[in-house]
Every structure is written in C-alpha cells, then in structure tokens.
Amino acid sequence: MREKNKKDELIWQCRISSRYHGYRGGFLDFCHRLVFCTIFISSALLASRLFDSSSKIVTILALLPVISASLDLVLKFSIGAQAHNFLKQRFYHLEMRLTGNKISDETLEEVEKEMVQLMADEPPGYRVLLYHCNNLVDIEKDKKPRLQISKWKMLLRNVLRFTGTSPQKIKKQKKLTLLHRFWRGAYDTLWGVFVFAVFVVLFIILAYLGG
C-alpha cells in the first residue's frame, strides 16, 4: 500500500509540474512571437512614413522595434520558453516510467531522485499558476475539491509571482459545471486574442495620428 501511495504521489507531482511548465513555456513563446509581430508591424508602418520624416510618428515607430527587441533580449522570452518545454518533457518522461502495475522500489527511488534534481533546476515559480495546475490535476482525478482563485490573480498568474499567497488562504469550492470548465479552457485563448487586438488597435491609432 505504501508503494502504491508513493507511486500515486509521484505521478500527481509529475502531472502538476508538466502542466505548469507547459503553461509557462506557452506564455513565454507567445510573448516572443508578440515581440516579432510588433517589430514587423512597426517596421512596415515606418517604411510607409519614411518620406515624412518631420512627423512624430516616425520617431515612435522607429523606437518600437528597438524597445521590443530589448525586452526580448533582457527578459529572454525564447530561452525561457525552451527551458520550460525541456522541463515539461522531462516530467512527462518521469511519468511514463511510473506507468504499469508493477513498479519496483528501486524505480520509485530513482524517479524521486530525478524529480528532486529537476525541481532544483527549476526557475522561481509562479504560485497562482502552480495552484491552477494543481486544480487541473485534481479535476482530472475527480477526487479532491477544487481550490478557488480570484479572477485578477488568474489574469496575472503568468506575470506576478504572488509570493504572499499560500494554499491555506485559498478557499475551496464545489465541483465546477461543464460551462465553467469550458470557460476556463477558453480563457487563455481569449486573453491572448484580446492582447493581440489591443496592440493592433494601438498601431492603427498611431498610424492615423501620424497621417
């Protein structure tokens, strides 16, 4: 029984970690692509304004690619996305080693040691995102009650670490309905589309003011 509990605990931790690094890698990759999109759009608008060098919009459009590239260079979106994707694959690999009915004690010890090593190599975590991944795994198991996270923390889960937040301070709620699950699944996509639309509208306004 102890061996089974240990196996379930390791699988549970692997699933939380793999989903966490999947979300972080996806967010950083989105930021990296958004930077290149900003550079492309601003460069195209700048090229259309080259013959009107007296306009202030030319200066703004010239600075946007520099600022965007500098953010990508300093914050290392691409490198961070690759690191999280690598860790995600490692945790999936550990979970695959735990599949099957008969798992020896030696295998459990090896997996646990490798997991501790991976955790030591992980960058500082984002707590709310980690709790969100915990919720996802609990819902998949359909055994534990789901933790409630405020909407504004969910909105900033990939931006702020919320170091003062602890699982004891998050209240529990009843099982989500199918409609709420659908909304949670579409939340990230809708937020990404909204951010992209804001940037597009911003560039259109800048181009209009420059005219």
Is 10's pLDDT higher than 80? yes
- What is the C-alpha separation between 206 and 211, in angstroms, rounded? 9
Which helix or strand (DSSP H or E) is residue 151 part of? helix 151-155
To which residue do tokens 């699982």 refer? 167
Q: pLDDT at position 201, please?
A: 73
pLDDT for 141? 75
* 133-184 per-position pLDDT tens digit: 888 888 877 666 567 777 778 888 888 888 766 654 445 555 555 556 555 6
Domain ranges of the chain: 2-123
Which of these ranges, 52-61, 70-79, 103-112, has the smallest mean pLDDT? 52-61
pTM: 0.70
Round to whole Å and give the CA distance between 152 and 158. 11
User: Tokens 């550079």 appear where?
Assistant: 39
Q: What pLDDT score was predicted for residue 136? A: 85
**Average pLDDT value for residue range 112-135:** 87
Task: State the pLDDT at residue 210.
Answer: 52
Can you tell me the distance from the alpha carbon of 132 to that of 138, in angstroms, rounded to the nearest whole number?
A: 10
**Per-residue pLDDT tens for 86-117?**
999 999 999 888 887 777 888 888 888 888 88
Q: Are 107 and 97 in contact (CB under 8 A)?
A: yes
Structure tokens at 146: 């789901």
pLDDT, position 177: 58
**Mean pLDDT of the residues in the chain:** 76
Which one-letter DSSP state was computed for residue 51?
T
Query: How confident is the model at residue 149, as a pLDDT?
Result: 78
